[in-house]
Amino acid sequence: MRFGFDLRPFLKEETGVGVYLRNLLVHLAKKDDQNEYYLFSSSLKDRFPRERIPPFKKVYFTDRKIPVRFLNFLWYRFAWPPLEAFFGISLDLTHSATPLILPSKGKKVVTVHDLFALDYPQLVEGEASWAFPSQIEKSLARADGIITFSNFMFKDILRRFPWLSPEKIRVIPHGLDPFFLEPVSPKELEEFAKRRLLPAHFLLFVGTLESRKNVVRLIQAFKEVSLKQPSLHLYLLGKRGQEERRLREIVEFYGLKERVHFEGYVDRKELKYFYHLAQALVMPSLCEGFGFPVIEAMACGLPVLAAESSALPEVGEEAALYFDPQNIDEIAKVILAIIKNQELRLALREKGLRRAKEFSWERAADRTLEFYYQLVG
């Protein structure tokens, strides 16, 4: 069979969508030597790195000099041109890593990470602000199959679109990149800490700096914590979003410029070092369909503090501490609890390591391929 994919989600800096698609394809390549994979990328300036093409036995790749926004406009508004047009063949199935289908004459699978764009359209940035709210419903109606990552999202999709058949939706949890389970030497960590001038004690946030990540309240809670823990710092890691300017202004207002650090996007090697050196990961998101940093941090032995909303409690289970993401005092209270209580940190470390190992990309790839076969017949 012939399967088609758009690789642009991991063309450059990877957010959760790119991490998902890259890992899924890499593990499909390890197990599937029968089917043909047609991989597409486009950008006016950026060429897809050849070394990052998943190593399928039967692979066909094309990289076109077409502006990303222009092609997305054609696909989202007119469902044209079909992906087949770039390869000159017919495809049995296309799989989009977003909720918006890839135009094709074959079966169509989409991935729903969350429905934040529908619940909070005023907080969505970029193309998603116009494309997602107006197109998701039509896309899900036209899709032959829908993949999501948690039972929370399964219920949320049906709550929003009760006319969808539950049989059309498949819950396939993310896997854990085994890279995060590999040990790191104390010497490596020491050298990294010196090179980056890291303080002895700091909290970590990992994610794009956008409104739904609720970083404003995290900074406000950190302000309260800093009065009792003057040596503690906060590091914000992730793709720079439109929220960054506002966050910097808030940090300046609270007099935290020397304590709150905007690191931007870091590669997974540096991210792993940060996980090993931090005191805790704090995930205050208002909406998460899964939350990669939760299991990555747990795999590195880092205690996780997470919002009790959306899919985060399902992912972390009893291996994390939870708080009301709307309650600044509660966020501060949980942070202080983990900083002051060494026994609690050790307990969460052990629980987190066990929980992280329950997530497997091999299993996710198996179940995804099984879903493809079911849809194509």
When pLDDT is averaged across residues 148-159 and rounded to a whole number, the result is 96
Look at residues 240, 355, 292 and name the one whose alpha carbon lies nearest to residue 23: 292
Question: What does the pLDDT read at residue 13?
Answer: 74
Report how far Cα 99 is from the mean position of its chain's Cα atoms: 14
Tokens of 182: 């590999």
164-211 pLDDT tens trace: 999 999 999 999 999 999 999 999 999 999 999 999 999 999 999 988
Equal fold, 2-175+360-376 vs 179-356: yes
| Residue range 63-103, pLDDT digits in tens | 999 999 999 999 998 999 999 999 999 999 999 999 999 99
Distance, CA of 106 to CA of 100 (rounded, Å): 15
Sequence-separated contacts (24+) of 118-125 with Cβ below 8 Å: 118/160, 119/287, 120/211, 120/212, 120/286, 120/287, 123/210, 123/211, 123/212, 124/212, 125/210, 125/211, 125/241, 125/242, 125/243
Q: Provide the pairing of β-strand 202-206 with 169-171.
A: unpaired
- d(CA 207, CA 188) in angstroms, rounded, equals 24
Which band of pLDDT confidence, cut at 50, 70 and 90, is reported for residue 242? confident
Once rounded to an integer, what is the mean pLDDT over residues 262-271? 95
Look at residue 131 in the predicted model and tell me its pLDDT: 78
Structure confidence at residue 282 as a pLDDT band (50, 70, 90) = very high
Q: Degrees (nearest 5) of the Cα angle 188, 193, 195?
A: 95
What's the chain's average pLDDT?
95
Q: Which fold has domain 2-175+360-376?
A: Rossmann fold (3.40.50)
CA distance 322 to 313: 7
125 has a pLDDT exceeding 90: no
* pLDDT over 80 (residue 337): yes
CATH number for 179-356: choose from 3.40.50.300, 3.40.190.10, 3.40.50.2000, 2.30.29.30: 3.40.50.2000
What SS3 class is residue 26?
helix
Q: Measuring CA to CA, how many Å separate 260 from each of 197, 202, 218, 254, 373?
A: 13, 9, 11, 10, 49
| 130, 156, 106, 78 alpha-carbon torsion, rounded to 10° | -20
Task: Tell me the C-alpha distance between 57 and 34, whole Å.
Answer: 8
Give 118's pLDDT tier (boundaries 50, 70, 90).
Answer: confident
- pLDDT greater at residue 299 or residue 120: 299
**Domain residue spans in the chain?**
2-175+360-376, 179-356
For the stretch 245-266, pLDDT in tens is: 999 999 999 999 999 999 999 9
Residue 42: is its pLDDT beyond 90?
Answer: yes
Residue 163 has pLDDT above 90, yes or no: yes
User: Edge-to-edge strands of the sheet including 321-323?
Assistant: 260-264, 233-237, 202-206, 280-283, 304-307, 321-323
The reported pLDDT for the residue numbered 130 is: 74
